[in-house]
Amino acid sequence: VPGPKADTSETMLNLNLKTGPVADRECYTSDAIFCKETELIFERSWLFVAHQSELKTVGDFVTTDLAGQPVLAICGDDGQIRVFLNTCLHRGAIVETERTGCRKRFQCLYHHWEYDAQGQLVFVPREDGFGPDFKRATHGLVPLPKLEIFNGLVFASLSGDVPPFLDYLGDAVPFLEEFSTYDGRPLDVVGSFEFTYQGNWKLLYENTFDDYHNEYLHARAYQNVPGLQYGKSFLKSRKENAPQANAPQPSAGGKRARNETHAPTKAGMHSVLHWDDAADKMVFQKERTHRINIGIFPSFLGVFNPVLDFTSFRILKPENPSLTRVLNYCLAPADLPANEKKVVASRFGGAFGPGGPIMMDDIRALALVQKGLKAKAGNVLHSRGLHQRPGSVGSDSDDHAIRSLWETWRHCMASEQVAHDAH
């Protein structure tokens, strides 16, 4: 049964291409728009697959899904990481059902076809039944056309027609470099879990770069956490909070954002941290003191929190316009002793998961936003700070990073229409 069909020639995209820092509510709620997003954004972008520390030894694997398609990343016999569509070339069953693990062979449970760690089909029961022309060599797992590893971050694309990864990142490169190590030390995954929220995928992307909400939505949560009260900003006291107009800034979508607007990572997304208290809480570092919030369009959200002192990724997995899965990763320096990694792990969920007071507030708020967006009450505003700082860099609570997201979104969503118009 064909899904809902988006008519890209009608008001939706035209409206959004012309009207600047607003978004039509249907961009968050429409099934047709969601289908187009899958096709024009998620199937044509670089998407995070796994972290290299999960794929250290031969046979290590990670399963996930990209744009709804199941994929399987494996460390091969040669130490190379490869990413395949996780589907048997016989009848299509998912080959690997576990989230992570280590195997020499990957056996489809249906008819026991077996693939090796290079994705090659190595065993077919009663193979002669497929006739003399059947060749195992042409029935290996299907590799994804594009794969890049950036400081341990494994990205892949379902499409071969994507810009080279570094071009895609654009001026986000130095910030992703900083984020993806711990002062140059490689990171290890200490845990991951998924949760869902009742809202559009773009809502959490926006939320990650919306500093405006913190002192309101999270006021009560922060009040009860020593070191996180408002008005005691160690970032401000260190004068790192001001936008740095000349500093290179990351974009939400690399070149696709056309370098117009950027996320204020160096400035620190949250000016709510009290340095003295923060110093007391530091477990293994005293130097890395500024927050980093970085978004690699469309689904990678990275957060480094200096007080809780862990690096985390939120990987967005849209299910439908009103439901999003989030794959939540926690990382710590690879050379950290195991007992200290356990400390990091134990802090993480209590802060950034569905059990953490801050994330709970966010999840609840996003569900209310999603419900409210069904009302036909005008466009959503992304204009904060625009009249004072129209450029690419703004203050913590400006919407410039959110405008960057939408600029990239419009660029991608218009691509089909642009191609159509050109013909």
Give the one residue of 105, 346, 390, 420 binding another protein; rule: CB under 8 A: 346
Q: Closest separation between CB of residue 13 and another protein, Å?
A: 33
Question: Which C-beta is closer to another protein: that of 162 or that of 351?
Answer: 351
Q: Select from 39, 354, 385, 380 the least CA-distant residue to 203.
A: 380
In the complex, minimum distance from the CB of residue 16 to another protein, in angstroms, rounded to a whole number: 32
Strands, E assignment, 98-244 = 100-102, 105-107, 114-116, 121-123, 146-150, 153-157, 187-197
Binding flag, residue 204, another protein (CB under 8 A): no
Judged by CB under 8 A, which of 39, 43, 148, 194 binds another protein?
Answer: 194
The answer to whether residue 360 forms part of the interface with another protein (CB under 8 A) is yes
According to DSSP, residue 137 is labeled G
Looking at beta carbons only, is 94 or 173 nearer to another protein? 94
> Is 246 a binder of another protein (CB under 8 A)?
no
The stretch near another protein (CB under 8 A) out of 44-52, 126-134, 150-158, 216-224 is 216-224
Could you please report the per-residue DSSP string of 64-103? EEETTEEEEEEE-TTS-EEEEE-S-TTT---S--SSEEE-
- Is there binding between residue 347 and another protein (CB under 8 A)? yes
When asked if residue 369 is in the footprint of another protein (CB under 8 A), the reply is no
CB under 8 A: which stretch of 125-133, 239-247, 291-299, 337-345 binds another protein? 337-345
Counting residues that bind another protein (by CB under 8 A) gives: 28
Q: Judged by CB under 8 A, which stretch of 4-12, 124-132, 137-145, 359-367 contacts another protein? A: 359-367
Q: Which stretch binds another protein (CB under 8 A): 30-38, 60-68, 162-170, 350-358?
A: 350-358
CB of 181 to another protein, least distance (A): 22
91 to 130, contacts with another protein by CB under 8 A?
Answer: 99
Residue 345 near another protein by CB under 8 A: yes
- Minimum Å gap between C-beta 286 and another protein is 23
Q: Could you tell me how far CA 128 lies from the centroid of its own chain? A: 45
- The full 3-state SS of 28-64, as one line of letters, equals HHCHHHHHHHHHHCHHHCCEEEEEHHHCCCCCEEEEE
Nearer to another protein, 14 or 346 (CB): 346
Query: Quick one: which of 254, 302, 333, 353 contacts another protein (CB under 8 A)?
Result: 353
Which one of residues 22, 343, 369, 414 is an interface residue with another protein (CB under 8 A)? 343
- Binding map of another protein across residues 283-322, x = CB under 8 A, - = no contact: ----------------------------------------
CB under 8 Å, gap of 24 or more: what pairs does 413-418 form?
413/8, 413/13, 413/16, 413/33, 413/36, 413/37, 413/40, 413/41, 414/8, 414/13, 414/17, 415/40, 416/8, 416/36, 416/40, 417/8, 417/9, 417/13
Stretch that binds another protein, among 147-155, 199-207, 277-285, 355-363 (CB under 8 A): 355-363
Does 70 contact another protein by CB under 8 A?
Answer: no
230 binds another protein (CB under 8 A): no
DSSP letter (8 states) at residue 144:
P
Q: Which is nearer to another protein, 76 or 349 (CB)?
A: 349
- Helix (H) or strand (E) holding 408, with range, is helix 400-422
| Smallest separation, CB 223 to another protein (Å) | 9
Output the smallest distance, CB 56 to another protein, in A: 16
In what side-by-side order are the strands of the sheet with 310-320?
187-197, 323-333, 310-320, 300-305, 292-296
Q: What is the SS3 string spanning 348-406?
A: HHHHHCCCCHHHHHHHHHHHHHHHHCCCCCCCEECCCCCCCCCCCCCCCCCCHHHHHHH
**Whole-Å CA distances, 124 to 66, 120, 137:** 28, 11, 12
33-34-39-43 Cα dihedral, nearest 10 degrees: 140
Q: How far is the CB of 216 from another protein (least distance, A)?
A: 15
105, 220, 371, 374: which one binds another protein (CB under 8 A): 220
What are the CA-CA distances from residue 362 to residues 29, 176, 208, 210, 295 (Å)? Answer: 19, 24, 10, 11, 17
The CA distance from 42 to 318, in Å, is 9
Where do contacts with another protein occur on this chain (CB under 8 A)?
Answer: 99, 190-191, 193-196, 220-221, 224-225, 325, 330, 342-343, 345-350, 353-355, 357, 360, 363-364
